[in-house]
Structure 1
């Protein structure tokens, strides 16, 4: 029994405990989103000095077969490639590198593919290649050496697209996100959705690089048998601060956070103009997601929105965005970047110092937030109509629809979101309401007819669900339904049942 507290824990030697091979499986299960994983590979291209990066979706007819990311950076020789393919391998990151942990290439790739192949060449060396197979990586860290002739052929395939004298190719096979069966237009729908979303993500998080004249990202779709290129998109910069006129003439303004023993941290505070329709304002996330801090590390956006425990997000601050360039001092430990580079953990010292941050005019950071909220509220008053607050939209409603709802309506942030689910119900009911759980149950019996033969999904039938969301607001903002509301619910039930049965009759004809 310890009689008094010991400040140092005594030891009796040490023991070498190497990681189990299943560590690779754990590494690849960190929740990388598809867009985040691709962006991580593009980071490597930027670190390699690439001027051109191509994200290449390869299809064989209706079936997607591979994803390839190609750059014209300085490339790697055999020793450098071995380090790059080593889990946790360090490759001499300098202060301006976007890479940090030596895991991005492997964890990002194996999160989404059964195998990752890397082929690279420098100006002075022949192409070399390595491949990780997930099944083999899990059982013994055995990395395949790519046949030199294939490595040369692979580089030749991308000659001038964009490789000229040097560059690197990363190939994903067995991509988990790809449709398993591409018929019936599934592949085309997947590509339309994915290419657009990926372009927005890369355009946002790498917007400072894309704004330069010497850096370009292209997303291409090509058939491997015919060589036909179905699409070729240049990714455009999506600057979250690119408004034409500030929402408040007093902003942007720089606030300085002072923390003992550290260089001052600058916060560039902006107020967007209200009701903007620009993609830079509306194209990503929801209103609440978009407000707050935008942290940059070496010009790469690593967090887009959020208040990092400084305060709770709320719709009235939808116009407030603050750009922060993270200090390059790894010893500071004021900010910790996630391995996926999709968020920042800010220390209590930073959050506490925000209260004392001021700009050159003596305004406090708290006063900036008041100004941003005032601009938002005044814009709402000038519409001449005070819209009634709504229960927030939740699961089952298409994310784009949720975003518009949150843009257009004051949302009750402390209410549980309203969800939609399909369930087996009596055929004389189109829906049921669970007031306590904030759920609208839709009758599974009518789902196929309403979809018209298309496949169902969590967010299917956005038109039906959006109309029901608007109709149901009173039902979910009252503890009990009065006689008038009950009568309205019965009316909606009757009309919707008649419409659903009409759809069934049409499908039978």
Structure 2
């Protein structure tokens, strides 16, 4: 008879492997915001105060979603906390229950989550140095009095409920102390541009998609318009509905829309800025734009179905 032997993965080794999944800084922030949207948030704030020392620099991603009690927070901090085959809510942009942890720890050594629900503050932290010391999956549960993020807690208490995800100790962004803040601010600027495109349908408040607002240090993030729908010169064709399986209705259909953009010479500077076209040509962004529940997950290129050509440079599908 076979002997059964429990063989959990080495905590430190698995954490380091997860950190090498290839997240960019802006894609990692977007994955955290997916959780905010799933939590029903209508407002999301990115907060990063002036940096005196790279070791104390942090980024807080704060939302006014439904928040978590102690047990819900512990479950959310668990790796693979959701089964991918489990039925999800319509606004849930996750799948494997890994995004919050893998995205965050790809950028920093300490992930702190502060959540407000039913008037109670709950705090949990994954600290890679603690995992290395303990050689175990040691989740830290903190009292609100022992955290230095009292300002973030005060900001959170403006809402009846919500969550703040805090990144600290950015070992992947290390530069000389004198240049760290410049590099970090550049990352935040690129992130704002990325979010304005990826979540543009949420920021616009498009029909059947929940409207959200986003701010970076108090400055509103405005939506991009990759199809220049606001331009009279842009052509939007009739949508095609591709029904899945044998369902009698089109409720869960894949919706395909095609857009023909105006020539670049006809675009105003305002159009180019709204498209996010700065420094790029129309030809570079031609092709498929794929959304999942309103969230842009792929843009540009033809996914191997055809080549990028000048003849199709104005086409977006």
Q: Please give the range of the TM-score, normalised by the shorter of the 2 chains.
A: 0.7 to 0.9
What is aligned with 1:150?
A: 146
* Secondary structure of the corresponding residue to residue 140 of structure 1: coil
What is aligned with 1:140?
A: 136
Structure 1 residue runs of 5 or longer lacking an equivalent are 1-11, 221-231, 323-509
Note the aligned Cα RMSD (angstroms): 3.0
Q: 1:49 aligns with which of 16, 34, 40?
A: 40
Q: 1:267 aligns with which of 250, 256, 277?
A: 256
Residues 116 and 156, structure 2, Cα contact 8 Å, conserved in 1:
no
Q: Is 1:205–2:208 an aligned residue pair?
A: no
Structure 1 range deviating more: 161-170 or 80-89: 161-170
Compared CA separation, residues 157 and 281, structure 1 to 2 (3 A): closer
Please state how far the C-alpha of 1:15 moved relative to its aligned partner.
6.8
Q: Is 1:176–2:176 an aligned residue pair?
A: no
Compared CA separation, residues 116 and 259, structure 1 to 2 (3 A): closer
* Secondary structure of the corresponding residue to residue 203 of structure 1: helix
Please state how far the C-alpha of 1:84 moved relative to its aligned partner.
0.7
* Secondary structure of the corresponding residue to residue 159 of structure 1: helix
Q: Is 1:237–2:223 an aligned residue pair?
A: yes
What is aligned with 2:305?
A: 310
In the aligned structure 2, how far is the partner of 1:167 from the partner of 1:259?
36
Q: 2:108 aligns with which of 113, 123, 130?
A: 113
With a CA cutoff of 8 Å and minimum separation of 6, indicate the structure with the bigger relative contact order.
Answer: 2
Q: Is 1:70–2:57 an aligned residue pair?
A: no
Alignment of 1:465-504 (within 5 A): none
Compared CA separation, residues 16 and 65, structure 1 to 2 (3 A): same
Residues 41 and 105, structure 1, Cα contact 8 Å, conserved in 2:
yes
What is aligned with 2:186?
A: 193
Please state how far the C-alpha of 1:177 moved relative to its aligned partner.
4.7
User: Which is higher, the Rg of structure 1 or of structure 2?
Assistant: 1
Please state how far the C-alpha of 1:285 moved relative to its aligned partner.
6.3
Q: 2:95 aligns with which of 89, 92, 100?
A: 100
Aligned positions, number: 295
In the aligned structure 2, how far is the partner of 1:233 from the partner of 1:13?
60
Residues 116 and 173, structure 1, Cα contact 8 Å, conserved in 2:
yes
* Secondary structure of the corresponding residue to residue 295 of structure 1: strand
Structure 2 residue runs of 5 or longer lacking an equivalent are none
In the aligned structure 1, how far is the partner of 2:194 from the partner of 2:285?
13
Please state how far the C-alpha of 1:289 moved relative to its aligned partner.
4.3
Structure 1 range deviating more: 70-79 or 255-264: 255-264
* Secondary structure of the corresponding residue to residue 202 of structure 1: helix
Please state how far the C-alpha of 1:86 moved relative to its aligned partner.
0.4
Compared CA separation, residues 156 and 182, structure 1 to 2 (3 A): closer
Please state how far the C-alpha of 1:37 moved relative to its aligned partner.
0.4
In the aligned structure 1, how far is the partner of 2:150 from the partner of 2:53?
26
Compared CA separation, residues 17 and 192, structure 1 to 2 (3 A): closer
Residues 47 and 60, structure 2, Cα contact 8 Å, conserved in 1:
yes
In the aligned structure 2, how far is the partner of 1:272 from the partner of 1:261?
35
What is aligned with 1:18?
A: 8
* Secondary structure of the corresponding residue to residue 29 of structure 1: coil
Compared CA separation, residues 73 and 258, structure 1 to 2 (3 A): closer
